[in-house]
C-alpha cells in the first residue's frame, strides 16, 4: 500500500555558482553547528509560503521567489518530513553575514556559502543535515 508523505518542515534552498563551484546557503548556529535554513510549516500554510517566510525570518532575505520543488524527504528524525524548495533572490547575498533570530530565546546566526559535495568530511554538520545535503545534491542535479 502506498502512503503519501505530507511535509511538516520546509527547507528553502539558495544556490550560487555552477558545476564543481556550486555552493549552498548555510549558517552556523551558535550551539548546534552548521545547518540549513529550515522551519515548521504552519497550519493552513502552503509549502511555498512557508519557504519564503522561513527564509525571511532566519536569514533576513526578502523578495525571494520560488524556482522549483526539489522533493520531500523523510528524515528518520522526530517524524519530520522536509520539503525542499529552491528559491532565487533578486540581489545576490554577500559572502557572509549575521542575522538575529528570535526563536529559542534568540540567536545570532552567521551565514555563509558552503561548497556542495564536501559535507561528508565536515564534522560541523549534524548527521541529519549531512543527509539533507546528499538529498539536495541528487534532487538538484
- In this prediction the pTM is 0.92
- Residue 51 placed within a domain: yes
CB atoms within 10 A of CB 108: 12
- Residue 103 placed within a domain: yes
Residue with cell 555563509: 112
Beta strands in 30-130 (DSSP E): 33-35, 39-40, 65-74, 81-88, 96-101, 107-115
- Residue 125 placed within a domain: yes
The side-by-side arrangement of strands in the sheet containing 65-74 is: 39-40, 9-13, 81-88, 65-74
Task: Give the contacts of 53 (CB within 8 A, at least 6 positions apart).
Answer: 39, 45
- Residue 102 placed within a domain: yes
pLDDT at 141: 81
Give the three-state DSSP class for 86: strand
The three three-digit cell numbers of residue 17, written as one number: 555558482
Q: What span, in angstroms and rounded, lies between the C-alpha atoms of 14 and 25?
A: 6
Which residue range forms the structural domain that includes residue 48? 9-16+23-140
Domain count, the chain: 1
- pLDDT means over runs of 10, the chain (141 residues): 81 91 93 94 96 96 96 92 96 93 88 83 84 93 81
pLDDT per residue as tens digits for the range 118-134: 766 667 888 899 999 99
CATH number, domain containing residue 133: 3.90.79.10
Amino acid at each position: 500500500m502506498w502512503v503519501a508523505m505530507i511535509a511538516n518542515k520546509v527547507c528553502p534552498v539558495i544556490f550560487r555558482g555552477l558545476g564543481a563551484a556550486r555552493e549552498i546557503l548555510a549558517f552556523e548556529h551558535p550551539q548546534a553547528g552548521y545547518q540549513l535554513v529550515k522551519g515548521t510549516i504552519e497550519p493552513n500554510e502552503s509549502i511555498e509560503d512557508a519557504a519564503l517566510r522561513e527564509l525571511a525570518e532566519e536569514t533576513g532575505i526578502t523578495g525571494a521567489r520560488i524556482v522549483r520543488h526539489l522533493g520531500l524527504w523523510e528524515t528518520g528524525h522526530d517524524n519530520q518530513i522536509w520539503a525542499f524548495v529552491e528559491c532565487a533572490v533578486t540581489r545576490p547575498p554577500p559572502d557572509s553575514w549575521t542575522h538575529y533570530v528570535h526563536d529559542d530565546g534568540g540567536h545570532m546566526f552567521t551565514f555563509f556559502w558552503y561548497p556542495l559535495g564536501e559535507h561528508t568530511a565536515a564534522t560541523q554538520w549534524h548527521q541529519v543535515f549531512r543527509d539533507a545535503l546528499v538529498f539536495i545534491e541528487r534532487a538538484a542535479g
